[in-house]
């Protein structure tokens, strides 16, 4: 099945879980609710499940388009595209993954519109783009497990600072 | 016209090839044979700029465009064949759906197939790899082991395609470990022990 569709479906599941949080925890503070999108919660069980789903969402939003673009890299480079052609083509391809990723973080601003949330959103977007560009400029792909560890590490930082 | 001048390449201390020189005029079909691991794919990678040479150079005429199939073709695995070809052709703003459909039909690939390329057989992927190397009217075409995985009908179609390319004044280089029956080469070389020799 087309991975864009699968990813869109997964995005909707994560969004659905996120919207269910206030129903299960009516007294959750806006800061804690928004923080779920950047940190993690190991308890109660439902929040832990959401945290895992959301970390995995960040991970696949990057690794799926990255793997696809890396796979076709040889045919791509043989055409000796200009820098603008490279980024224009990449941008069109990654948008179905990048836009849900960005939107999933922007939701936090609706819940708790504070500057530190904005800083975290910018930070996450920069990390996502940096990973993509770093991997595409390498001859050997960066192992996906390493990327997962970095995203998990970001969650730990988010948990501590938000 | 493609001119390869004294190209050399090694990986660490392992010499892949040394002082390789040859030229391919428009309308010529050239064969480079060699055993597996003899350096044919690496030579193509250097010619196309995927790898930097340790010495020597490759020159093409102004306006020449290189198309190539090198090693196992990699694609956007979860997209359709047409999406893949459009993705590549859009890079050079040269997406010609009619020509691509003709090439796909010539190789008995369905342009409207919604199946992801990851489900394709080795032969189907190979056909797609050949098509992407010629679909934008590239006038220098490098094909590495192009008949790998192709059935006899597809090999026959491949031979027709090469004849058409040569008649259209394209420069074509085929690298393979064996000979394809039915192809008449203008020059035949063998890459052996790192050196390119006349066959």
In 3D space, the residue among A103, A15, A86, A40 whose CA is nearest the CA of residue B92 turns out to be: A86
Residue B50 has its nearest CB partner, among A67, A72, A77, at A77
Give the three-state DSSP class for B198. Answer: strand
Return all residues near B98 (Cβ < 8 A) that are at least 6 apart: none
| CA A88 – CA A82 distance, rounded (Å) | 10
Q: What is the pLDDT of residues B138-162, one digit of tens each?
A: 999 999 999 999 999 999 999 999 9
Contact A72 B76 (CB under 8 A): yes
| CA B156 – CA B133 distance, rounded (Å) | 18
Going A70 to A74 to A75 to A80, the CA torsion angle's sign is positive
Which of A72, A78, A88, A97 to mutate to probe the B interface, most B CBs <10 Å?
A78
In 3D space, the residue among B75, B11, B12, B76 whose CA is nearest the CA of residue B45 turns out to be: B11
Tens-level pLDDT at each residue, chain A (162 residues): 678 889 999 999 999 999 999 999 999 999 999 999 999 988 899 999 999 999 999 999 999 999 999 899 999 999 988 888 888 888 889 999 999 999 999 999 999 999 999 999 999 999 999 988 887 777 777 888 999 999 999 999 999 887
- Contact indicator for A65, A93 with CB cutoff of 8 Å: yes
As a 3-state breakdown, chain B gives helix, strand, coil percent values, each rounded to 5, of 30, 30, 40
Question: Closest chain A residue to B87 measured between Cα atoms?
Answer: A89
ipTM score assigned to the predicted complex: 0.89
Q: Which two tokens stand for residue B170?
A: 């394209």
What pLDDT, on a 0 to 100 scale, did the predictor assign at position B182?
A: 85
Going A104 to A106 to A109 to A114, the CA torsion angle's sign is positive
CB-count exposure of residue A84 (10 Å: 0-12, 13-18, 19+) = exposed
* Domain limits for position B57: 2-198
For the whole model, what pTM was predicted? 0.88
A→B contacts (Cβ < 8 Å), by residue, are 1-4, 67-69, 71-81, 85, 89, 93
In 3D space, the residue among A154, A140, A138, A143 whose CA is nearest the CA of residue A57 turns out to be: A154
| CA B56 – CA B49 distance, rounded (Å) | 12
Residues in A touching B116 (Cβ below 8 Å): 1-2
Query: DSSP secondary structure string, B9-68?
Result: EEETTEEEEEEEEEEE-TT-EEEEE--TTSSHHHHHHHHHTSS--SEEEEEE-TT--EEE
Residue A89 has its nearest CB partner, among B50, B68, B90, at B90
- The number of folded domains in chain B is 1
Query: What's the CATH number where B31 sits?
Result: 3.40.50.300
The answer to whether residue B22 scores a pLDDT higher than 70 is yes
Residues in A touching B76 (Cβ below 8 Å): 68-69, 71-72, 93
Give the three-state DSSP class for A92. Answer: helix
A145 vs A50, A57, B148, CA distance in Å?
20, 14, 33
């Amino acid at each position: 099945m087309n991975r864009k569709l699968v990813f869109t479906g997964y995005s909707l599941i994560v969004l659905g879980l996120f919207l269910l949080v206030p129903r299960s925890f009516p007294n959750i503070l806006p800061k804690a609710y928004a923080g779920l999108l950047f940190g993690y919660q190991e308890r109660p069980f439902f929040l832990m499940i959401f945290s895992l789903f959301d970390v995995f969402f960040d991970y696949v939003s990057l690794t799926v388009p990255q793997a696809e673009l890396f796979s076709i890299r040889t045919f791509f480079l043989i055409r000796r595209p200009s820098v603008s052609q490279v980024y224009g083509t990449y941008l069109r391809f990654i948008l179905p993954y990048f836009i849900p990723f960005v939107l999933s973080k922007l939701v936090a601003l609706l819940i708790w519109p504070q500057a530190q949330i904005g800083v975290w959103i910018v930070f996450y977007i920069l990390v996502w783009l940096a990973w993509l560009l770093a991997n595409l400029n390498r001859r050997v792909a960066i192992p996906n497990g390493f990327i997962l560890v970095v995203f998990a590490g970001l969650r730990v930082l988010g948990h501590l600072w938000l | 016209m493609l001119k390869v001048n004294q190209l050399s390449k090694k990986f660490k201390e392992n010499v892949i090839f040394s002082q390789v020189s040859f030229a391919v005029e428009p309308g010529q079909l050239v064969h480079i044979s060699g055993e597996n691991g003899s350096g044919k794919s690496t030579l193509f990678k250097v010619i196309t700029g995927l790898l930097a040479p340790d010495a020597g150079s490759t020159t093409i005429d102004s306006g020449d465009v290189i198309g190539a199939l090198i090693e196992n073709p990699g694609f956007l695995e979860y997209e359709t064949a047409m999406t893949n070809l459009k993705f590549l052709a859009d890079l050079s703003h040269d997406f010609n759906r009619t020509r691509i459909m003709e090439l796909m039909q010539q190789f008995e690939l369905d342009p409207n197939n919604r199946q992801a390329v990851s489900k394709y057989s080795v032969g189907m992927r190979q056909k797609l790899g050949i098509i992407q190397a010629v679909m934008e009217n590239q006038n220098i075409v490098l094909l590495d082991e192009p008949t790998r995985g192709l059935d006899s009908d597809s090999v026959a179609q491949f031979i027709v395609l090469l004849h058409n390319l040569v008649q259209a004044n394209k420069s074509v280089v085929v690298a393979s470990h064996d000979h394809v029956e039915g192809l008449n080469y203008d020059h035949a070389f063998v890459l052996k022990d790192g050196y390119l020799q006349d066959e």
